[in-house]
Homo-oligomer: A and B are copies of this chain.
Amino acid sequence: MNGKQEHSRRGVLRSAAGVTLGAGIAAGISAAPATAAPATAAPATAAGPGGGRKPRQVQVAVLLYDGFTALDAVGPYEALCRVPGVRVTTVAVKAGLVRTDTGELGLPAAKSLREVPRPDVLVIPGGGERGTTASMADARILDWIRRAHRHTTWTTSICTGSLILGAAGLLRGVPATTYWASRPYLKEVGAIYTPGRFVESGRIITAAGVSAGIDMGLHLAARLSDEEVGRAMELALEYDPEPPFGTGSPEKASPETTALALKLLADSAT
């Protein structure tokens, strides 16, 4: 994010012309006056479980590390990036392009960990075995998580990201979830495995695998603003899913499907 882009964005925010495709038409259909919308123009607040209110911009830091899973990071990003008063930043040990678990795609980290020492919200995506285990042993990442967590409103993870939180010592005795294939590992970091698309324990929220980051991100959008914003973001993402096969959890999949999923994951790992 450079200064020019920030300036350009502010310009658009001030401009009445900043409408989304279809916004005019749909607004005409719903005939809802502008004043009918909830009071989201008020300063955004980061209201945590403790009820602390911070009338300023909420900084969400999404950690990227070599071997993370793209959708783990982009699901919550997409759910949070339009929440009023929230700014989502990608961070990594070093700023710059970070490769995903397949090695075929990368995402740019806008900032280094050092540049973002006290985000309001931590989002730790999961990754393949190599990326997750490397992060679980990387003192730069673990130290950053531990220090940032002292001040966060919410500390969150998706998929095997919970094992990284666990390696940082944050999940001892904490109810949490993780990727289905990694459930047995939660115990090793002292967490209490708890089923759910996401599990909120105090100010720690852990999500299940990959796509569960969307569910968690929408929940977090409401936590960082209000439920009406959560509802609106769910519509903005048209999150009205119809999984084509109904095999999205090991409880719903056959042993053969489970074995094949593990094989495809292993074969695509770098």
Binding site for B on A (CB under 8 A): 1, 5, 8-9, 12-13, 18-23, 25-27, 30-32, 34, 36-38, 40, 69-71, 74-75, 77-78, 81-84, 87-90, 97, 99, 102-108, 110, 128-129, 132-133, 159-160, 163, 179-185, 197, 208-212, 214-215, 218-219, 222, 227-250, 252-270
Contacts and interface: CB of A to CB of B under 8 A. Distances in A.
Nearest to A213: B238
A234 B247 contact: yes
A160 B185 CA distance: 41
Given A25-B185, A71-B77, 8 more contacts: A21-B129, A21-B181, A22-B181, A36-B256, A38-B260, A179-B238, A229-B260, A234-B253
Given A21-B133, A82-B102, A256 B228 contact: yes
Given A20-B269, A21-B182, A238-B179, A227 B208 contact: no
A18 B78 contact: no
B215 A242 contact: yes
Contacts of A9: 103, 270
Contacts of A240: 197, 208, 211-212, 243, 248-249, 252
Contact of A104 (B38, B81, B84): B81
Contacts of A222: 244-245
B20 A181 contact: yes
Contacts of A243: 215, 218, 234, 239-241
Nearest to A19: B266
5 contacts: A22-B262, A197-B240, A212-B238, A234-B246, A235-B253
Contact of A258 (B30, B90, B212): B30
